[in-house]
């Protein structure tokens, strides 16, 4: 029994370590996504305008330069475009 617990602990540590050391393809996030409810495995994306976390299937994505930005609604996308246009002055 003790060996089983030890093995489980080792696997858990390895899993955490692998996750932690995995190369990050995305820019670092400033805010952690909200805790996921059980059974929900969908990736959450943050709207840079209002800060809302939206499931990837419901996010409105837009290519901006080299990065893809995800919004909760067309309203936020328009706001973002407006901010971008204004900041170019």
Please state, in angstroms and rounded to a whole number, the distance separating the CA atoms of residues 26 and 67.
9
Segment interacting with Zn ion (CB under 5 A) among 13-21, 28-36, 39-47, 56-64: 39-47
Measured from the CB atom, is 47 or 69 closer to Zn ion? Answer: 47
Report in angstroms how near the CB of residue 2 gets to Zn ion at its nearest.
51
Per CB under 5 A, 54 contacts Zn ion? no
- Residue 45 or 47: which CB sits closer to Zn ion? 47
**What's the rounded Cα separation, in Å, for the pair 26 and 66?**
12
SS3 53: strand
Residue choice 69, 76, 77, 80 for contact with Zn ion (CB under 5 A): 76
Close Cβ partners of 69 (under 8 Å, ≥ 6 residues apart): 48, 61, 62, 63, 80
């Amino acid at each position: 029994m003790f060996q089983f617990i030890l093995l489980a602990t080792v696997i858990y540590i390895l899993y955490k370590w692998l996750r932690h050391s995995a190369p990050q393809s995305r820019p670092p996030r400033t805010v952690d996504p909200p805790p996921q409810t059980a059974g929900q495995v969908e990736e959450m994306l943050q709207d840079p305008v209002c800060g809302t976390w939206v499931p990837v299937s419901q996010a409105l994505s837009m290519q901006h330069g080299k990065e893809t930005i995800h919004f909760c609604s067309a309203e936020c996308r328009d706001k973002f475009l407006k901010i971008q246009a204004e900041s170019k002055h």
